[in-house]
Amino acid sequence: MMAAINNHQTIVSLKQLLNGLSDCEYLPEIEVKGLALDSRKVEQGYVFIALEGQVDHGLVYAEAAVSLGAVAVLCDSKFDQYCQQILSKLMSRAICVPVHDLQNKLGRLANVFYAEPSEKMFMCGVTGTDGKTSVSHFIAQAMNQAYGSAAVIGTLGNGVIGDLKEASHTTPDVISLHEMLADLCQQGVGHVAMEVSSHGLDQKRTSCVDFDVAVLTNLSRDHLDYHDDMESYKQAKKKLFTENSDKSLVLNIDDDFGAELFVENKNNRIIWLYGLNESKVKQSNAYAYAENIVNQANGIRFMLNSSQGASEVKIQLIGEFNIYNVLACFCVLLESGINFNHAVKYIEKLYTVPGRMELIVKENQAAVVIDYAHTPEALSQALMNVRKHINGKVICVFGCGGDRDTGKRPLMAQAAEKLSDLVIITNDNPRTESPEKIVDDIKQGITNELKLIVEMDRKKAIQQAISMATVNDLVLIAGKGHEQYQIIGNEKIDFSDKEIALLSLGVYQ
C-alpha cells in the first residue's frame, strides 16, 4: 500500500516500483522516497538510477549515491565486467537491481512513483521549429484566465504563469518532468501547456506523460547538429503525434508537415486544423482560420472563423505569424471545452512572451523589436512581418551560435540581406568556437556588402543600429530574445538585448 507523506510524493515500495519491469524474483517491500539520475541529488531512502552516459557509466557514481543514502541502485541488465565489479562491492550496502532496457522504462518508473500526475490534469504538448514558446505561453495565459491557475513548462521557465522557475532545458528529463507535474497537481493546477522539443522526444523525456492535445506549429531547418538531417528531425517531432492514439491533434495545415500528419491520422482521431486558407482548414470538421488581416501599430485585427462561430478579433501582438500562434491556442481552448465567446475574449487579452516579437516604442524614436529568431525561416518571418508595421527602413542585428549547425549561417545572412535595408552581423553565443569564424561563415550568404556592417561587440552593434535609425524605421534584434546572458568560451556573461536597447533609446539610464 502507498502511504501519503508531507509533500507531493508518495512512498512506494521497491517491489511496487519495479512490478513488471524487472526479472528479479525477489524484491523487498523497502520504501522508496525518491528517484535520482544524478548521484549528487540522492537523499536518504532514494533509488539511484545508473545509466550509461556519454563519458562514464552511472555505476561509477553508485558508491557515492549509496553513501548519501540510496537504498537501491538500478542499472541496465547489460553491463560489462567493470560494472559487475562495482555492483559486487555494493551488494552488502544497497539492493542492486538489473533492469533490461532501463532507459526506455524510466517514464513508467517515474509515472508509478509520482502516482500518474499527468492523468489528473489537462495536458497540452506543443512542438515545432518556431512558435513553441509563444503558443504554450498563450495557452497557459488563456487557461489562467479561464480557470484561475494554469502552468507552463518550457524555454522561459516552469511553473504557474506569473511565477516561473528557471529552466535548464526546454523539455526536462523524464524523472524531473513527472516530479514537476506531481508538484503542480499538488498545488491544484488543472491545466498545463508544455513545450516538447525534438531532443526531448528523441530522448524519451516525455515518456508516459498523458497528453490530451498535441500541437504542431511548423517544421523548418533547425538542430541538424543533433539530428544530422531533416528526415531524422521530422521523425523525432512525429513521435508526439503518433505514440498515443487517444490524444487530439491541432495542426498547422499551411505547413507541409502539418498536412502530412493530417493525411496520416485523419481517420482515427479528432484533428483541429488552423491556418489562413479556408479550403485547407475545412478538410476537417474542427477548424479555425483568419481572414481580412489588418496590421496596426500596436497589434493586428482580423476576422476569426471557426467550426464553432466567427468574430472580429483584435490581438495585442505584432507579426502575422502570431496569428498562427493565436489560432493554435484558440483551437486548444475549444478542444478543452471552453465555449467560443469566452475563447475569443481570452485570446484578445494575450500578451507578448518575453523575447518573442517584443516591441519597444519610445516617442520620436525608431521602434525596436526583440525576437528569438535563430533559424533562417524564423528570421525571414520576423523581418517580413515587422516591415508590415512601419513605413521606413528595417535594420537587422543578428549573429549565429557557436558549436551549433554551421549550415544555417549563410542561410540566415541571405534572409537578412533580402528582407532588411541594413544588416549588422555581430556575436550571438559563440561558445567555444571562434567568433571570427562564425562571422566568416555568415558572410558567405551576403552578396551586397554595401548593406553590411560587422560589429563583433553585440552591445555596440545594438547601439549603432538604434543610433542610425530614424523615427519611421525599425530595428530587429534577433537570435537571443529573452536570454539574460551571452556564452563566450565556457563562461556565461550577464547580457540582455532588451536592456541594451532600452538604454540606447534612453528609456532608462
Per-residue pLDDT of the chain (509 residues), as tens digits, is 233 333 445 678 999 999 888 777 678 889 999 999 999 999 999 999 998 877 778 888 988 999 999 999 998 866 666 666 777 777 768 888 888 889 899 999 999 999 999 999 999 999 998 889 999 999 999 999 999 999 999 989 999 998 898 877 777 889 999 999 999 999 999 999 999 988 888 888 999 999 999 999 999 755 455 546 778 888 888 999 988 778 999 999 999 999 999 999 998 899 999 999 999 999 999 999 999 999 987 789 999 999 999 999 999 999 888 999 999 999 999 999 999 999 999 999 999 998 989 999 888 999 999 999 999 988 999 999 999 888 899 999 999 999 998 999 999 999 999 999 999 999 999 999 999 999 999 999 999 999 999 999 999 999 999 999 999 999 999 999 999 999 999 999 999 999 999 999 998 64
The pairing of strands 151-154 and 157-160 is: antiparallel
If we measure between CA atoms, which residue out of 27, 90, 82 comes closest to residue 64? 90
If we measure between CA atoms, which residue out of 29, 37, 252, 21 comes closest to residue 135? 252
What pLDDT shows up at residue 281? 98
CB half-sphere exposure, 431, CA atoms < 13 A: 8
Q: Enumerate residues 6+ apart whose C-beta is below 8 A from 74.
A: 18, 47, 48, 49, 50, 97, 98, 99, 102, 109
Max alpha carbon distance in the chain (Å)? 77
Calculate the alpha carbon distances from 88 to 38, 49, 85, 434, 437 in Å.
Answer: 21, 16, 5, 47, 50
Start-end of H helices in 13-131: 14-17, 62-67, 81-90, 106-113
Q: What's the predicted TM-score (pTM) here?
A: 0.82
What pLDDT shows up at residue 2? 32
Query: In which residue ranges of the chain is CATH 3.40.1190.10 found?
Result: 117-347
Backbone angles phi, psi at 116, to 5 degrees: 50, 60
CA 306 to chain centre: 27
* Enclosing H/E stretch for 137: helix 132-147
Place of cell 538604434: 466
How many residues are present in the chain? 509
User: For the structural domain made of 3-112, what CATH number should be given?
Assistant: 3.40.1390.10
Q: Is-contact 47 74, C-beta < 8 A?
A: yes
Extended strands (E) in 284-403: 286-296, 299-306, 309-315, 358-360, 367-371, 394-398
Name the CATH superfamily housing domain 358-505.
Mur ligase, C-terminal domain (3.90.190.20)
Start-end of H helices in 256-407: 256-265, 278-281, 321-335, 340-347, 376-387
What pLDDT shows up at residue 83? 66
Partnered with residue 248 across adjacent β-strands are 213
Q: Domain 117-347 belongs to what topology?
A: UDP-N-acetylmuramoyl-L-alanine:D-glutamate ligase (3.40.1190)
Query: In which residue ranges of the chain is CATH 3.90.190.20 found?
Result: 358-505
Query: In which residue ranges of the chain is CATH 3.40.1390.10 found?
Result: 3-112
